[in-house]
Structure 1
Amino acid sequence: MRADSAALRVPLESARAQRWGHQRVSAPNEQGQYYCATADTLLRHESKLERSAMMLADRDPAVIGLSCQPVEFVWPKSAAVVTHVPDLFVRRRRGVSGLVDVHAPVRTSGGEFALQRALTNAACGDIGWSYDVFTGIGPVFEANLYWLGAYRHKRFAPSDAVLDDVRDAYRGGAPLSEGISGLQGGPESVLPWVYHLMWSGVLRFDWEAPLRMWTAVYTSDFGGDGADEKCSASG
């Protein structure tokens, strides 16, 4: 298959999973479901690491579709690896869509997965997709991701009028608390709006530093230090 293949036009972001592991009562890897705001649906994950990968893609403004395990590659029986089901499919607004495998770093150095990785990368290149392996993020970034992820639902999105006020409050950069104090309404009503905009990339901050009320927050058009680089799950 080549880059003009019909595979590029298949709506894989709405396809059903080709594989799903069995839930074990004592499973340590936190299987469950994640509400994907981008797709407005529940996605099943087999681990917390996979959930983190979903969340990174979900908050990326460039991502317009996301699904779990919609593709199964099948190679000849003579191949070292016969089948493989990558963990995620990511549809991007611009650029190349693609597949993501999610593995802990200790599982990517060799063995069967190394062969799977090489074959899958080659197959994606033939189709015209990207292929990446997500191995995790730092604990501070993850803590910020999970905190702001609680405000990902569109019910936390402010009205257009409030959105303009929030942008004005953080234009040029301001501490989180200072911007909130300049908006109408108490913190209980204002903070969810601001957190939603930080999650979605409308407001930027340093994801690698602990989120505090004195954290510097900027509008997305401001090039200040620590500005959000809009990382995606495939990074």
Structure 2
Amino acid sequence: MEKLSKCSKLEGDPEIDLNDKSDQINTEWGAFGDDGEIEDLRTEFDRQVDEETINPGQQLFLKMSSGMYLGDLVRLILVRLARENLLFDGKTDGISEKGVFLTEYISEIEREFLEDDDQIFSKTFQILKSMGIDEVTKLDCVCTLVSTRAAHLIAAATAALLNRMGRQFVSIEIDGSVYRFHSTFSRLYDKKLSELIDMHLKYQLVLSIDGSGQGAALVAAVAVRIKEAKKNESNQ
């Protein structure tokens, strides 16, 4: 929800009273960066992922933070490090194909690093061995970097909205498989968000199943009610 008085694009519209109303804003932040705003944050791996999609140059923020792309980001980093003989004894055959490193692997590997007190990391070795990689050491994981960056990017975008709105308390509904199932993503997101927002603002995170669909239905319902209210006013 945003105060209409802060919506500069609506200034001058005779049908809108900017002084006493708020409206729901669809940020569509997946496309944030399409005009170059986050170019300094993008890496060669982000650009390679983008180039191999059906819509290169679009939805750049989404491609840096969505579960649809995180697995391939990790894969490309591993390929680069292996080619420089820093990982896997220089072998890349098992990870050279797009899509072989699933985003769910990131969570499984990170969970093992958190929970495996004996530091055997059998699941991690199993995942990599399934891709033909046998020369693995306990130092060969870059998953945490990719998932942490994604969580921090989304936290920064959320914090920008909360700080702009300036509401004392906001409930944030979150949907998506990465937030729901990743072993550390929700904690990383929450921690960074709390660091970035104004110290006087409070929030709560609420897991929402099919939040996108429910949100669209809610917006449609509100729009219909507003339209009907205006129609009734004009008939009186």
TM over 0.5: no
- Could you say which TM-score interval applies, normalised by the shorter chain? under 0.3
**Which has more strand, going by share of residues?**
1
Q: Which structure ranks higher in relative contact order (CA pairs < 8 Å, sequence separation ≥ 6)?
A: 1
Q: Which one has the bigger helix percentage? A: 2
Q: Choose 1 or 2 for highest CA Rg.
A: 2
* TM-score relative to the length of structure 2: 0.26
TM-score, normalised with respect to structure 1: 0.26
